[in-house]
């Protein structure tokens, strides 16, 4: 509105010119986003304050409280414009992947992981181990779909009265995802997902938070695993408490007798059947407090 401005559009055009010039010098990221900056920015941070769980700023009313869920479904508009050109993630100052609900939403939306933690908090086991799990999800799943196009996306609404936000089925590039946005379990595509569980597949990748596997039910929060590799060698990560029973899907073709190293040590209590690894993690099985989940790493090779 400056009278010296040659046009009402000059301010916006000046900002776009500035972005174009600076993008030639270093990678740029911005809060929220705009379709006009997509070709210059490498990262857009926002879009979800009113949508998914987690921190909500005062000015962002929860979308489902403004528009009844029976009247809408998620459509990947921002992803359709920008997912194959930028990394998309939650607001870089105020919304992060802090728990299983936000993790399920983040994967379903095809966003990258983000987490804020203080140096002091890194001395606390629970936040530190959650960071390690989020880091593994980023490296094994999210990194495969960053910069990839939306190949398929559907959102099925759940029951609004029960707080069920439904389920997302999406494919970003080579990664196919199912994310349960409800606190209750559901069967999807041959998987039983716990509340806020997920399942992800891609070439060389199988990962999930599933309620049952190989005939074993793993409780309300299920079992969490990431498997990368092929029939000759696989790496498996578990996010679970010491002493708990865990399982993971193995790459196709990996069958028969296998050898297992868990946290670089030989493990003798593992079983392999129908493409599934099962074992009980070492450590105490009884504790007065809720057992702490931590990240475990295993290597599997056929004998």
Per-residue pLDDT at 87: 97
Bridge pairing between strands 43-45 and 87-89: parallel
The arithmetic mean of pLDDT across residues 49-56, rounded, is 86
pLDDT tens digits for 204-232? 999 999 999 988 899 899 999 999 999 99
Per-residue pLDDT at 268: 75
Q: Would you say residue 1 has pLDDT above 80?
A: no
Task: Specify the long-range contacts of residues 110-113, CB closer than 8 Å, at least 24 apart.
Answer: 110/76, 110/79, 110/83, 110/145, 110/150, 110/170, 110/172, 110/177, 111/48, 111/142, 112/87, 112/88, 112/138, 112/142, 112/146, 113/89, 113/137, 113/138, 113/142
* Range in 80-94, 112-126, 233-247, 253-267 the model is least confident about: 253-267
The pair phi, psi for residue 31, each rounded to 5°, is -70, 140
C-alpha to C-alpha distance for 199 and 290, rounded to whole angstroms: 26
Per the CB < 8 A criterion, the answer to whether 280 and 244 are in contact is yes
What share of the chain has pLDDT > 70, as a percent?
Answer: 98
C-alpha to C-alpha distance for 193 and 67, rounded to whole angstroms: 27
* Range in 16-30, 49-63, 113-127 the model is least confident about: 49-63
Q: Would you say residue 102 has pLDDT above 60?
A: yes
Q: Would you say residue 290 has pLDDT above 80?
A: no
Q: Is 143 buried (19+), middle (13-18) or exposed (0-12) by CB count in 10 A?
A: middle
């Amino acid at each position: 509105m400056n009278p010296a401005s040659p046009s009402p559009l000059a301010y916006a055009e000046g900002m776009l010119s500035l972005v174009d010039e600076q993008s030639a010098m270093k990678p740029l990221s911005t809060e929220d986003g705009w379709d006009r900056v997509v070709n210059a920015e490498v990262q857009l941070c926002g879009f979800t304050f009113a949508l998914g769980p987690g921190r909500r700023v005062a000015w962002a009313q929860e979308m489902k409280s403004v528009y009844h869920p029976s009247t809408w479904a998620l459509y990947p508009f921002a992803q359709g414009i920008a997912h194959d050109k930028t990394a998309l993630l939650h607001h870089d100052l105020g919304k992060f992947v802090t728990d299983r609900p936000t993790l399920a939403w983040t994967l379903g939306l095809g966003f990258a992981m983000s987490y804020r933690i203080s140096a002091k908090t890194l001395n606390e086991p629970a936040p530190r181990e959650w960071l390690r799990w989020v880091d593994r999800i980023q490296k094994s799943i999210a990194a495969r779909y960053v910069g990839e196009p939306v190949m398929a996306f559907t959102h099925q609404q759940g029951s609004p009265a029960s707080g069920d936000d439904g389920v997302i089925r999406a494919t970003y590039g080579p990664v196919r995802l199912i994310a349960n946005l409800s606190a209750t379990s559901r069967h999807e595509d041959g998987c039983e997902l716990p509340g806020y569980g997920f399942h992800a597949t891609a070439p060389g990748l199988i990962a999930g938070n599933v309620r049952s596997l190989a005939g074993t039910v793993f409780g309300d929060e299920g079992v969490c695993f990431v498997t990368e590799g092929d029939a000759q060698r696989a790496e498996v990560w578990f996010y679970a408490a010491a002493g708990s029973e865990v399982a993971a899907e193995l790459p196709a073709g990996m069958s028969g007798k296998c050898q297992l190293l868990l946290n670089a040590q030989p493990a003798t209590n593992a079983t392999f059947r129908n493409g599934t690894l099962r074992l009980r993690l070492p450590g105490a099985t009884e504790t007065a407090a809720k057992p702490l989940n931590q990240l475990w790493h295993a290597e599997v090779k056929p004998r």
